[in-house]
Amino acid sequence: MKVHVIGGGLAGSEACWQVVRRGIPVILHEMRPKKLTPAHETGNLAELVCSNSLKSMADDSAPGELKREMLSLDSLVVKAALEAKVPAGQALAVNREIFSEAISRELNKSGLFTRVDEEVIAIPTEAELQARDEIWIIATGPLTAESLAAGIQELAGGSKRLYFYDAIAPVIDADSINMEKGFIADRWQKGEDGGDYLNLPLNEAEYYAFIDAVNTAEKMPLHDFEDVKYFEGCLPIEVMIERGRETLRFGPMKPVGLTDPRTGRWPYANLQLRMENKEASMFSMVGFQTKMKWPEQARVFKLIPGLETAEYHRFGSVHRNTYIKSPDTLNADLSFKSNPRVFLAGQITGVEGYTESAAIGLIAGRNAVAALQEKRQTFDERIGLSNPPPDTMLGALVNYVTVGPLGEYSPMNANFGLLPTVAKVRGKGKKDRQAEKVSKAWQSFSAWLSANNIS
Ligand SMILES: Cc1cc2nc3c(=O)[nH]c(=O)nc-3n(C[C@H](O)[C@H](O)[C@H](O)COP(=O)(O)OP(=O)(O)OC[C@H]3O[C@@H](n4cnc5c(N)ncnc54)[C@H](O)[C@@H]3O)c2cc1C
C-alpha cells in the first residue's frame, strides 16, 4: 500500500506530510532540479516562485482563518512558514530557503518519505494502480510539464475541461455595491423572476471617461514564458479597447435588450454583474477579464456608477495557469471521477495562491489516506471525516473546487464571500459581519474536530 505524489510544490509537500504523519509511506516524484519550470529556480521543495508572503495571519481575516484551520490539521506548510517567519506586520512572510529546508527536514525525519528526481510523463490506469495497491496524488501546479498535462486532460475528459490561461474577471463584495444606481434585468427579459443580472448603466460621458482611464492605467507585465494567445471569447478589456473606443459597447458593455426602468430606454453602455453564489454575496463583472494592476483596477472601476466604494474579493488577472474544471471532473474527495485512484491537489484544481494550494494538498492527502484505510466506511462517511464542513474556510474552499460557483468556473482564493452570509444588524458594519463570519467558521471547525475526534 503506497501513495505516490507527483510534484513537490506547496500542495505536493503538504499532501506528502498528511500521508506520512498517518504512518503510510510516500514516494514523491519531482522533476526539479533536473528539469525546471519556467518560474522555479531551484530543486527545493515548496519553492515560492514569486512573493515570499503567505498572506495575512490576522484572526479576523479569511487567509488568517484558513491558516488557523490548517494548523489544527497539523499543516506542515503553515508550521514551516511559522518557523521561517520574517517581520512583515500581519502578513506571514518567510525566508524561502529556511521554509523549504524545514519542509524537507520534517518529511525526511518521518522515515517514510522517498524523493525521486524525475519527470512523470504518464498516469497509470485504474487497473494498474489497483494491481499495485497504489494511490496517486497529482500536484504539478500551474506550470505542469506538457506530457503530463496531456494525461490530465485525458482524465478530465478533454480539452474543454483543462485550461492553460487564467483570464479572470474581478469579483466584488455585494455589500459594497451601490445597488440604487443599478437595475436587475436579463437581456431581452429572458430570465425568470425579473432577472438574474445586476446592471450598472453608464451615460455617454461616463462611458468615455471609463475607456480613457482603462487606456492609460498601468498594466501587469507578462512573464517571458507567458506568450499569451488570447481566446477571442475572453479577451482582456484593455486589449478590446486597443481595437477601438467603441469595442466594449459592442462587447461586454453592450446595452441592447436592457431597458433601464428609470428611463424606459437602453443605456449608452452597461456593465452586467452576475451572482457568484446563491446567497448573492459576491458578484463577478461579466466579461471584464483584465491585466490592469490591482490598485489601478480599484481606481478605474470607481468610474462605473455603483462601484464608487466597491470592495473586491478577487481582482481580474490574466496569466499562464494550468487548471481543470474540477466541479465536473473530481469527486468530493478530490479523486478523478474517471479514475478514483488518482487524486488532484493544489493550484491545478482551480484555487489560487500558495496557502490555498497547500490547503487543497492537505485535503487530498487526508482523503487519499482515508481511501486506503477506511474500507468499511461509505464514501459519504469518509468525506465527512476528511473534509471540514462547507461553512469553514477550508471546507468552503474545497466545496468551491468540487461543487463550483453558479457561473463560470475560474480560480479562487480564500475570501469572505465563500463563507455563508450573516444577517445585517443595525449599528454593525462590514468589519463586524466579517468578524462574525470568521468566528462562526471557527466554531463550526472546532465542533467538527471534537465531534469526530479528529487530529
Ligand atoms: C509566475 C508565478 C508567480 C506566482 N506568484 C504568486 C505569489 O506571489 N503568491 C501566491 O500566493 N501565489 C503565486 N503564484 C501561484 C503559485 O504558483 C501557486 O499558488 C503555488 O505555487 C501552487 O502550488 P502547487 O503546489 O499547486 O504548484 P507548484 O508550487 O508550482 O508545484 C508544482 C510542482 O510540480 C512539479 N512538476 C510539474 N510537472 C511535473 C511532472 N510532470 N513531473 C514531476 N514534477 C512536476 C514542479 O516542478 C513543481 O515543483 C504564482 C504562480 C506563478 C506561475
Cβ pair 126, 135 in contact under 8 A: no
With a cut of 80, say whether residue 1 has pLDDT above it. Answer: no
Ligand 1 atom with the smallest distance to the CA of 9 is 31
Residue 3, all three cell numbers: 501513495
pLDDT confidence of 222, banded at 50, 70, 90? confident
With a cut of 70, say whether residue 193 has pLDDT above it. Answer: no
d(CA 366, CA 300): 43
For residue 6, the CA-to-ligand 1 centroid distance in Å is 12
Superfamily for the 2-166+320-452 domain? FAD/NAD(P)-binding domain (3.50.50.60)
Average pLDDT (383-409) is 95
Ligand 1 atom with the smallest distance to the CA of 7 is 34
Cβ pair 423, 92 in contact under 8 A: no
Summarised one tens digit per residue, pLDDT across range 114-131 is 999 999 999 999 999 999
d(CA 198, CA 275): 8
What pTM was estimated for this model as a whole? 0.86
Residue 209, all three cell numbers: 471617461
Residue 203, Ramachandran bin (φ over 0: left; ψ between -120 and 50: alpha; else beta): beta
Cβ pair 203, 362 in contact under 8 A: no
Residue 140, all three cell numbers: 504539478
Nearest to 238 by CA among 213, 209, 255, 221: 213
φ, ψ at 105 (rounded to 5°): -60, -50
Cβ pair 422, 279 in contact under 8 A: no
d(CA 370, CA 378): 11
Ligand 1 atom with the smallest distance to the CA of 140 is 34
Higher pLDDT pick, 38 / 153: 153
d(CA 359, CA 371): 18
Summarised one tens digit per residue, pLDDT across range 394-406 is 999 999 999 999 8
pLDDT confidence of 191, banded at 50, 70, 90? low
The pLDDT, as a whole number, for residue 229 is 60
Cβ pair 354, 327 in contact under 8 A: no
Query: Ligand 1, atom 35: nearest CA belongs to which residue?
Result: 7
For residue 92, the CA-to-ligand 1 centroid distance in Å is 19
Summarised one tens digit per residue, pLDDT across range 332-352 is 999 999 999 999 999 999 999
For residue 366, the CA-to-ligand 1 centroid distance in Å is 21
For residue 390, the CA-to-ligand 1 centroid distance in Å is 26
CATH code for the part of the protein at 171-315: 2.40.30.260
Q: How would you class 38 by CB atoms within 10 Å of its CB: exposed for 0-12, middle for 13-18, buried for 19 or more?
A: exposed
Per-domain residue ranges of the chain? 2-166+320-452, 171-315
Q: Kindly list the protein residues whose Cβ atom lies closer than 6 A to any atom of ligand 1.
A: 6-12, 29-32, 37, 39-40, 49-51, 119-120, 139-145, 148, 223, 346-348, 353-354, 357
Residue 359, all three cell numbers: 490547503
Query: Ligand 1, atom 21: nearest CA belongs to which residue?
Result: 354
> How many other C-beta atoms can be found within 10 angstroms of the C-beta atom of residue 410?
24
- CA distance to 119, 142, 163, 369, 395, per residue, from 399 (Å): 30, 20, 20, 19, 6
With a cut of 90, say whether residue 303 has pLDDT above it. Answer: yes
